[in-house]
Amino acid sequence: MLLIKTAFKNIIGSGKRTWLNVTVLSLTLVIMVAYAGTNDGFVEEARRETREWEIREGQLWHPEYDRFDIFTLQDAHGVIPDELAPCVQSGASVPILVLQGSMFPKGRLQNVLLKGIPVSQTALALPSWEIVPDGSGDIPAIIGKRMAKSADMTTGDRVMLRWRDHNGVFDARQIVIVHIFDSKVPAVDGGQIWFNLDDLYEMSGMAGQATYFVQTRDCLVMSDVAGWHFKDLKFLMKDIDIMEQTARMEGVIIFVILLSIALLAVYDTQVLSIFRRQKEIGTYVALGMTPRTVTWLFTLEGTTYSILAALVSFVWGAPLLALYASYGIPIPGSDDYGIAMGDVLVPVFKVSSILITFGVVALFSALVSYLPARKIARQNMVLALKGKIH
């Protein structure tokens, strides 16, 4: 307790240098917390949106289906297995049929995926309930805003669509865009057109079939069923995991750089103060401290910088980060990223990452304070009192 008080007094008493150290440490702390919060916010939103719009608790894939290979689509569909029928009936499992096709907006050709979804489903945020006929006899369909942009289409537009039916024979009809939805998840948007599943059955002659199912918690089938493969969240959100890892690595690199600068300042102060405060060290020993205790005193002084930095960070960083958390920051051109992302990024500050950040900073400032202070214990106190150690 005496040591803590003494350490605190000494560093407060040493003025400018203390505040320099505290400032760089505090900057490091706040920047790192902001950075981690940004990443976590980004990743959490990506995960949440992806689940809400695309995968919920997981997907059950037709054995031939591979979402990265459109050439598998020709065969990647099958009759809804009996085991799943109750889930599909209750809406706990959402069957989705995927076909390949092309459309001709304004005379150009564009390859598209045709996806059929039950209009009555509520498991996904995808607004299937908007797929209602407009009375013209054209097939109603909805698209996302990215698709609308790339194909230059708006609500009410009609376009010629060609696809292969179950016999592999081309068929063509005019469709009408009845709604454009706004999703943060590119995977349900770019290059795809959403239909009423029943319409798609009629168009393809594949009644009662699906390419994959989106499973909710209410459907307890969370494993392979009748040859269909269950894909869990980990598999389906691998992209986000990879992105999170990458961002975390970047964070660690930035952290190492910032922390090194801050620690260098602390280390420098320590070396200098152990050199300059020879007489003081000798005096502590003359007054009855052991050299080892003085070593701890100096170590504690260095560590106190990080504690002060935490307090200072709290004072200026907490309101700033709270503001950031409530308003977020706008992301220009967020449509261009391949991963679910909103127009505004709202950070998520986790107590655990704040504590880890602070812990690492405190640990390393203790370490760089201890290293130079170690030599106090080996010092000749007679020379120290004379201020004669070089």
Partner 1 sequence: MKTNHVISMKEVVKNFPIGGGFFTALNNVTIDFKEGEFTGLVGPSGSGKTTLLNIIGSLDTPSQGEAIVLGKAIQTLSAKQSAALRNVNIGFIFQSYNLLPVYTVYENVEFALLLQKKSATERRKMVMDALEWVGLTDKEKSRPSQLSGGESQRVAIARAMVKRPPIVLADEPSANLDAANSHHILKTMLKLNQELKTTFIFATHDEKVMHYLTRIVHLRDGQIDSITTKDN
Ligand X SMILES: Nc1ncnc2c1ncn2[C@@H]1O[C@H](COP(=O)(O)OP(=O)(O)OP(=O)(O)O)[C@@H](O)[C@H]1O
CA atoms of 183 and 145, how far apart (whole Å): 7
Q: Which is nearer to partner 1, 151 or 376 (CB)?
A: 376
The answer to the question of residue 14 lying near partner 1 (CB under 8 A) is yes
Which of 383, 387, 389, 390: binder of ligand X (CB under 6 A)? 383
The terminus-to-terminus CA distance of the chain in angstroms comes to 31
CA atoms of 223 and 50, how far apart (whole Å): 20
Q: Give the nearest distance from C-beta 385 to partner 1 in angstroms.
A: 7
C-alpha dist (Å) from residue 305 to 170, 363, 375: 74, 11, 20
Q: Which is nearer to partner 1, 169 or 287 (CB)?
A: 287
Q: Give the nearest distance from C-beta 32 to ligand X in angstroms.
A: 47
Q: Give the nearest distance from C-beta 373 to partner 1 in angstroms.
A: 16
CA atoms of 28 and 257, how far apart (whole Å): 9
The answer to the question of residue 13 lying near partner 1 (CB under 8 A) is yes
Which of 288, 326, 351, 378: binder of partner 1 (CB under 8 A)? 288
- Encoded amino acid at 241, one letter: D
Q: Give the nearest distance from C-beta 383 to ligand X in angstroms.
A: 6
The answer to the question of residue 334 lying near partner 1 (CB under 8 A) is no
Closest by Cα among 289, 229, 261 to 67: 229
Binding string, 329-368, against ligand X, x = CB under 6 A? Answer: ----------------------------------------
Which of 41, 140, 282, 347: binder of partner 1 (CB under 8 A)? 282
CA atoms of 389 and 381, how far apart (whole Å): 9
Residue 100: enclosing H or E segment and its boundaries? strand 93-103
| Cβ neighbours for 129, distance < 8 A, ≥ 6 positions apart | 119, 120
Please count the residues of this chain forming the interface with partner 1, following the rule CB under 8 A: 22
For residue 3, give both structure tokens: 């040591």
Residue 97: phi, psi to the nearest 5?
-110, 135
The residue ranges that bind partner 1 (CB under 8 A) are 2, 9-10, 12-14, 279-280, 282-283, 285-293, 381-382, 385
The residue ranges that bind ligand X (CB under 6 A) are 382-383
